[in-house]
Amino acid sequence: SLTDIDGYIGLSLLVDRLNGRCIATTAWQSEEAMIASRPATDPYRDHAAQILGGSPSVDEWEIAVLHRDHHSTPGASVRVTWARVDSEHVDRA
pTM of the model: 0.72
Cβ-based neighbour number of residue 11 at 10 Å: 13
Tell me how far apart the terminal alpha carbons of the chain are, to the nearest angstrom. Answer: 32
81 close to 88: Cβ distance less than 8 angstroms: no
Tens digit of pLDDT for each residue in 15-72? 888 888 888 888 899 999 999 999 999 998 888 888 888 888 888 888 777 776 667 7
Cα torsion angle, 27, 2, 79, 23, sign: positive
* Residue type (1 letter), 49: A
Q: Give the model's pLDDT for residue 93.
A: 57
Q: What is the residue range of 31's domain?
A: 2-92
- Say how many domains are in the chain: 1
Could you list the beta-strand ranges (E) of the chain.
8-16, 21-28
Residue predicted with more confidence, 16 or 87:
16
